[in-house]
Structure 1
Amino acid sequence: MSTRKISSGVAMVVLSVGCLAADAASSCAPAFSEVDVRHGLKVQTDCGLPGRPLNRLTIRLNRVVNRAKLSEAQIVSLASATNVILGAIHAELDRVGGKTDTAFANVEPLVERLAEQIRAQPDAALASEARQWATRYEDLLRRSSIARSPDPLELQIDEALERFDLDGASQLLAQLLAEQQETPQETPQVFAARWYAAGEIELLRFAPQHALPYLEKACALQPEDSRMATALADTLQEQREFERAEPIYRTLLSRYQLLAQQKPAAYQPEIARTLDKLGNLYVGLQRPREAEAAYLRALESYWALAKQNPVAYGPAVAETFDNLGVLYRDTQRLKEAADAYREALDVDRASAYRAPATYKPDMATTLNDLGILYGATQRESDAEQAYREALHIQRALVRSNPAAYRPALARTLNNLGNLYSAMQQLREAEHAYKEALTIRQQLARESPALYRADVARTLTNLGALYRATQRPEQAQQAYRQALQIYRVLAGETPTVYQPDEARTLNNLGVLFSHSGRPREAEDAYRNALDLYRTLSRETPAAYRQDEARTLGNLSALLSQTQRPLEAEAIRREAARLSDTTDAP
């Protein structure tokens, strides 16, 4: 699935901060700063609200931020999502005249769950989730007011929802459902609506695993209700239960196609959205052909819709092209991937002309992806041009909001350094790597858990460059710094970082060998081999070739130091590994 929602999540909310309209009489909404986050969350707009509820919310959220050790970019993402939720709260309070203190106290655990989510999934699209939350909450309030029964528990549930007491609403509705099962008096439609509302409340509590049983019950009672079926399929997909979600999406698609024959304007968007979701599902199931077919059909529908309404559907066209680009890239269809990314870029350019703050980040992300693809297909000039345009956009974004966009800028600079190294433009490569390293070291000082590995990668790149330009002391220093980081990371997550530790040791071995330091070279090679042998036992196909390469390096070193018998034994071991690796 594309990362477009993640990359543009910050910008999407910047447009709405302070102006999430409650109604015609009020256009202000309380908001946290999405720029000044160095010392945590800070209120930017209070809209004249009493200071106490906002201050209490700020203190509690900053406690969560510190506990979760969020980076500045993650704090910006959390602030953006929180602002969307605060906008929805303020709108509802204006409508019903509710108490701010109570509502803000009830929303605190919701935002805490978002913070915990981004800690567990650093690239989580919090702003996108928050917008979905606001839409779901508004829809739930509307339906509960229409379908209310005389039961006093229903009134209590509505009151809990209006004051944003989702935990209380969940408990009350569970009580109501238990009572209706004991003494069934309502129609299946009413039962289904209540089960569905219970599932929606769990989704609003950011507890999708708790929502599933309720949604399943609702769909069993009302199998023809597309809204309920969509909520169930989406939640199953979110929980990576792809096999269970697929037949529901297929049924929905057939239903929408039939309805579109009579009302195409109403149901073509649903067809496109369902096809797009099926494409994402097939990617998760590792069925690329079906994913491609679904994306292409979704694209055809979105194109037709965008011709009539480019503002509404242009972004969906770009995102679907982006999804195709990722699919083609991951299946080694690099030319088609580049074509898809270019199409996405063209749509983003048109969208950025209308709303630059929203779509410039997407443009930079797509340009960076294009640069990688062009570099992999030996189109160095095109790659350089793509990276440079991405850098131009990202530097401007960093000037306006460094906390949000420094990581992306460093990533593009590192990639540009890789390109220049491949082109043997080593002076330009060094400049790009050093700028990337400076940014990544700053980020790692602020959030070491997130950015230490990036620092190590750029140091490794610089070590290779220094070695290629005959600067062994600087190369050794860069490699040793990278190795120190990788050893710490491998101690925490060995399966992820031991390969990097082994690779860096092998690079040090090569450097020492070429610098006339055979003893240190041998130690580095043997330490690398110890790691590779462990990795090869667990995942032979992935690491035997690396093990064979390091054995070959050690054999060459032993030959140079007049140890022919040991060299020959090591050479034979490397040959056996190579034969095993090459075997079908």
Structure 2
Amino acid sequence: MARRPLPHRRTPRTRPLVDLGDGRVRLRPAGRPGLSRGAATHRVPAPPRAGRPAARTGLAPASSAGNHLAEAGRPAEGRTIAEEAVEIYRRLSGGNPAVYEPELARTLSNLGNHLADAGRLEEALVNEQEAVRIRSRLSGSNPAVREPELARSLSNLGDHLAQAGRWEEALDTAERAVKIYRRLHNPAHEPHFAAALHIIAKILQREGNLREALRATEEAEELYRKHAEAMPSVLPRLQGVLARRAELVEAIERQEPKPDGTR
């Protein structure tokens, strides 16, 4: 699918990014409280020094500013910043793709999530599909680092496809993510693995394949429970999985006959 240019949608309250030209981007002041001065400037990753991984250079990615704003209840501003972060990393990756393409893929994926949350599913799909293409290519040369990122993008893409009603494509895409996570067999990736399983469960439930959906839900529950104490952030996701499991158990009980032949 060809990438389409994204429209800029700014409101008077939006604080767009300013490219400082030295590897930093800054939120343009808007005369409003909400972000501290220290949180307003973000440095894009600098080219790696000898013996130092690229991921450890520089400060937090610019795209994280958009996530912080969305979490603070300012989704329109977060979405605008995510769009401008994509533009900046696209320009940087044109000059130095080895360093900046991974961050371009990250910002594309973040923007896809922002757009999906706003109901702009077609645009979300365009961005996440581009992220998948970049991460698929990068994973060939550095699978240990890039395959988990590819799996996350595939999981996001599967979710966006499901929201768009493209159920068969959604299932195939989410299953690709699960296949990668199974092969990696790394506890660090298990919360993302659980999220991909829950997407599959949602699709299977919609298709009426309740038993398979229940199995995927139970596996997701087990993975979330392993990390719930150390990572409280997974608790809302665990609650969602538990709610789906209860729905599935009830639906299966309604479908299957009781010993006396009734339902």
Normalised by the length of structure 2, the TM-score is 0.71
> Deviation per CA, 1:65-122, whole angstroms, max 9, x where unpaired?
xxxxxxxxxxxxxxxxxxxxxxxxxxxxxxxxxxxxxxxxxxxxxxxxxxxxxxxxxx
CA contact (8 A) 1:319 1:344 kept: no
2:138 to 394, 397, 407: 397
**Are 2:99 and 1:358 aligned?**
yes
State the one-letter code of the partner of 2:83: R
Report how far residue 456 of structure 1 moved. 1.9
CA contact (8 A) 1:295 1:320 kept: no
Change (3 A) 1:323 1:507: closer
Q: Distance in 1 between matches of 2:98 and 2:172?
A: 29
Change (3 A) 1:334 1:515: same
Q: Distance in 2 between matches of 1:359 and 1:494?
A: 30
Report how far residue 343 of structure 1 moved. 1.8
Unaligned stretches of 5+ residues in structure 1: 1-267, 280-287, 303-315, 520-560, 562-584
Q: Distance in 2 between matches of 1:502 and 1:377?
A: 23
RMSD: 3.6
1:506 aligns to what? 243
Report how far residue 497 of structure 1 moved. 5.3
State the one-letter code of the partner of 1:397: L
**Are 2:35 and 1:291 aligned?**
yes
Pick the structure with greater CA Rg: 1
State the one-letter code of the partner of 1:472: L
Q: Distance in 2 between matches of 1:319 and 1:483?
A: 31
Q: Distance in 2 between matches of 1:330 and 1:482?
A: 24
**Are 2:113 and 1:369 aligned?**
no
> Deviation per CA, 1:228-275, whole angstroms, max 9, x where unpaired?
xxxxxxxxxxxxxxxxxxxxxxxxxxxxxxxxxxxxxxxx999x98x9
1:337 to 54, 60, 78: 78
Change (3 A) 1:341 1:514: same
State the one-letter code of the partner of 2:243: N
1:424 aligns to what? 165
Report how far residue 294 of structure 1 moved. 6.8
Please state whether the residue corresponding to 1:400 is helix, strand or coil.
coil
Spell out the pairing of 1:99-114 with structure 2 (5 A cutoff): none
Report how far residue 413 of structure 1 moved. 0.7
Instruction: Tell me the percent identity.
Output: 24
1:473 aligns to what? 211
Please state whether the residue corresponding to 2:87 is helix, strand or coil.
helix
Change (3 A) 1:457 1:399: same
2:252 to 508, 515, 518: 515
2:121 aligns to what? 380
Report how far residue 501 of structure 1 moved. 4.4
Spell out the pairing of 1:233-382 with structure 2 (5 A cutoff): 289=33, 291=35, 321-382=62-123
2:198 to 452, 460, 472: 460
Report how far residue 400 of structure 1 moved. 1.2
Change (3 A) 1:502 1:373: closer
Q: Distance in 2 between matches of 1:498 and 1:325?
A: 23
Spell out the pairing of 1:50-61 with structure 2 (5 A cutoff): none
Q: Distance in 1 between matches of 2:69 and 2:240?
A: 28
Q: Distance in 1 between matches of 2:116 and 2:248?
A: 26
State the one-letter code of the partner of 2:194: A
Report how far residue 329 of structure 1 moved. 2.0
Report how far residue 473 of structure 1 moved. 1.7
Q: Distance in 1 between matches of 2:225 and 2:64?
A: 35
Report how far residue 292 of structure 1 moved. 6.7
Q: Distance in 2 between matches of 1:496 and 1:319?
A: 20
Change (3 A) 1:324 1:460: closer
Aligned residues: 221
Change (3 A) 1:462 1:320: closer
| Structure showing the higher helix proportion among its residues | 1
Unaligned stretches of 5+ residues in structure 2: 1-19, 44-57, 257-262
2:6 aligns to what? none
1:109 aligns to what? none
Spell out the pairing of 1:14-163 with structure 2 (5 A cutoff): none
Q: Distance in 1 between matches of 2:139 and 2:231?
A: 34
Report how far residue 412 of structure 1 moved. 0.7
Report how far residue 493 of structure 1 moved. 4.1
Change (3 A) 1:495 1:390: closer
Change (3 A) 1:494 1:321: closer
Q: Distance in 1 between matches of 2:61 and 2:189?
A: 30
CA contact (8 A) 2:211 2:252 kept: no
Q: Distance in 1 between matches of 2:235 and 2:84?
A: 39
